[in-house]
Amino acid sequence: MSRLRFGVFLAPFHPAGQNPTLAMQRDLRLMEHLDHIGFDEAWIGEHHSAGSEIIASPEIFIAAAAERTRNIRFGTGVTSVSYHNPLWVADRMVMLDHLTRGRSMLGVGPGSLPTDSAMIGLNPTDTRELLDINFDIIMRLLAGETVTEQTPTHKLIDARLQLRPYTEPRFDVAVAAVASPTGPRLAGRHGAGLLSIGATLTQEGFDALAHHWSVVEERASHFGQPAPDRSGWRLVGLMHIAETREQAYKDVEYGIEQWFTYFQKVAAFPQMAVDGSNIREMIDFINEAGIGAIGTPEDARAQVQRLADQSGGFGAMLLLAHEWANPEATKRSYELIAQDVLPHFQGPGISHHESTVRAKQHARDTRSDHAQQQLAAVEHMTEKYAKEVAES
């Protein structure tokens, strides 16, 4: 595997009833923390209902986060393009690309919450049909075309972008996928990356991983696109890590039940069919179903490797951000992942982990000889000094 990037996918998931202002500030501080410890990417969601996923405009959040950070790249995860005029989606992203000096990425999808689309008179079938139409228009605009189109929701007449992207030829674009081939089909057709949001969230999503990429490759070939690069494939998964499994289990008592309840009883998103009626059952579901890792860095490494083996290789591991643990334990989880997981999957040629372990082993293997040489050098210089004193 080439250098694996690491990042987060921030919906976010905040308990309804909390102070939303403080929750958003907590999200921004998390972006600063991830930037500081070396995470590569953060993808920010768009939602408008249900009271927990409270970021309505990922572009606005990204603009604020970019001013607080230096290196981490930000993607819309995802922009629900079915809800919007595709011209304005493209135009806002080009502006954001300039504001962030090339640290912005566009993720697209149909919108995951039916309670969002219902407020504008669309059902889930409508949004999936509109995704295909609107995404095609967005990609044509980003390529510099002038577009005249009548969509089911908008009319464009000689529409064009007044600015070219800051990034040449354009910023990264990725399409969301859960279990169906819709996302991979669009990614292959348009030469875009793939955001496998369902990569580990369900057994079906995990099982479909290799199939998803074969769809991307087949559609790319069909539409005359270059062979897709697996570095543009991002898998989304669940983790909470601590120094011991016992500590990790204790940490998630803080908020994992609220997260499960949201998907079991609030969000009409059956693709996230999580199971468990008490905290221990919830922990066991994450670990035993293989959809994530609650435990130690060793458990996290095993989960990443499992995904690599199942998929055949991918470009970025995105951790689905949550508040299973309190803010300090959550930050510590990311620190442990940066410290003890990233080095196993990053580095030129060999991983950073392997490089330092090899160096340590070489030093161990040659220690005796080098120690003798050190002692001999001290003895030599001692004798030399004694001789100089005797001759003076």
> What's the pLDDT band for 206 if we cut at 50, 70, 90?
low
Maximum Cα–Cα distance across the chain: 102
- Average pLDDT of the chain is 94
Task: Compute the half-sphere exposure of residue 199: CA atoms within 13 Å on the CB side of its CA.
Answer: 32
Q: To 10 degrees, what angle do helices 297-311 and 209-222 make?
A: 40
> What's the pLDDT band for 267 if we cut at 50, 70, 90?
confident
The CA-to-CA distance between both ends of the chain, in Å, stands at: 65
* Complete DSSP assignment for 75-120: EEEEEEGGGS-HHHHHHHHHHHHHHTTS-EEEEEES-S-HHHHHTT
- The larger pLDDT score, comparing residue 207 to residue 30, is at 30
Q: Residues 273-305: pLDDT tens digits?
A: 788 889 999 999 999 887 899 999 999 999 999
314, 89, 64, 29: CA torsion to nearest 10 = -40
Stated pTM of the model? 0.94
Structure-token match 């980003």, residue found: 142
- For 349, left (φ over 0), alpha (ψ -120 to 50), or beta? left
Residue among 243, 235, 160 nearest 195 (CA): 235
Look up residue 170 and give its DSSP letter: -
SS3 239: strand
> What's the pLDDT band for 205 if we cut at 50, 70, 90?
low
Residue type, 222: H
Strands (E) located in 12-167: 41-44, 73-80, 104-109, 147-150, 155-159
Residue type, 205: G
| Share of residues in the chain with pLDDT > 90 (%) | 86
Q: Residues 315-331: pLDDT tens digits?
A: 999 999 999 999 999 99
SS3 5: strand
In 10 A of CB 19, how many CB atoms?
10
> What's the pLDDT band for 200 if we cut at 50, 70, 90?
low
- Structure tokens of 280? 């221990």
Query: Cβ distance 11 to 48 under 8 Å?
Result: no
Residue among 20, 41, 142 nearest 100 (CA): 41
CA–CA separation, 106 and 80 (whole Å):
11
Query: Quick one: pLDDT at residue 392?
Result: 81
Measure Cα distances from 306 to 4, 208, 293 in Å.
14, 14, 11
